[in-house]
Structure 1
Amino acid sequence: MKYIVTVNGKKFEVEVERVENGNGSKQANETSKKVSAEEIGKAVAGGIKISAPMPGKILAVNVQEGQKVKKGDVLFILEAMKMENEIMSPEDGTVEKVVVSKGAQVASGDILAILK
C-alpha cells in the first residue's frame, strides 16, 4: 500500500508492506533451545553468569558445554542496532551451560552461558 506522509511541510510517498505475523516482528527460531528455570538455577549457583549487555539477536555461538575458555575468548556474537557485538569470557574457565542458540532473541540481562 502506498501513502503520502507530510513531515515538516514536505510530502513523501511511502510504501508499507505487511509482514509475516502482522506486528512487525519475526517468529522465534524453532531450533532455539528451551531451558528450564530449574536448570539455570542449578548452573548459576556455582558459576559465573555470562549475560547479554543489551537486547538483540544471537548471530553466533562459539562455545559448547564442557569447552575450556580463556579470558577474552569470544563466546557469542550479538547483533544489536545493526552492529555486531562480541561477548567475551571475563576469565579462564569451563563452559558449564550454554543457554541460548544461534538466532535467539535476547533481552538485556538474559543469561547466555554459565562458566565454572
Structure 2
Amino acid sequence: MKLYKINVNGKTYEVEVESVTEKESKPQQKKDENVNETTTNVLAPMQGKITKLNIKVGSEVKKGDVLMVLEAMKLENDILCPVNGYVRQLLIKENQKVELNQLMLVIG
C-alpha cells in the first residue's frame, strides 16, 4: 500500500492505493480471528463547520462517543461514533468547512 495526497476542487485528501501486482505477490497469511479488518467511513451528514474535534489518529472510540461537533445553521450537531474501533484516518480539522457526504474520518 502507498499513501498519496490528492487535491480535488481545492480540498486535500489522503488515499491509500494498493497495486494489483503487490496484492498478488504477497504470500497468503492466516487471518487472526480476533482481528477485525473492516473499516467504517464517517461522512458529513450536512454541510457546515467543524467547531470541535474530540479525537485524533489512533484514538480508541466506542459506539455512541461524540467524535466532533459540526455547526450548521447556527446549531451544534454532535457527530456520534457508529462502531467500536480506532481512528485510522482523520481527514478534517477544527474550524474546517465540510460538504454534505464529505469523508471526515475512517474507523477500523
Smaller-chain TM-score range? 0.5 to 0.7
Q: Which amino acid aligns with 2:13?
A: V
Identity, % of aligned pairs? 37
The root-mean-square deviation of aligned C-alpha atoms, in Å, is 2.1
Structure showing greater radius of gyration is: 1
**CA offsets 1:35-79 (integer angstroms, 9 cap, x no match):** 33x34x67xxx5100110000000011101111111100001000
> Residue in 1 aligned with 2:83?
91
2:42 is aligned with 1:50: yes
Aligned length in residues: 80
Q: What pairs up with 1:11-90 in 2 under 5 angstroms?
A: 34-36=12-14, 38-39=15-16, 46-90=38-82
Gaps spanning 5+ residues in structure 1: where?
1-32
Q: Which amino acid aligns with 1:104?
A: Q
AA aligned opposite 2:89:
K
SS of equivalent to 1:58: strand
Mapped to 2, the partners of 1:59 and 1:67 lie a distance apart of: 19
Superposition TM-score, scaled by structure 2 size: 0.67
Over 4 Å off, 4+ runs: none
Question: What TM-score does the superposition give when structure 1 sets the normalisation length?
Answer: 0.63
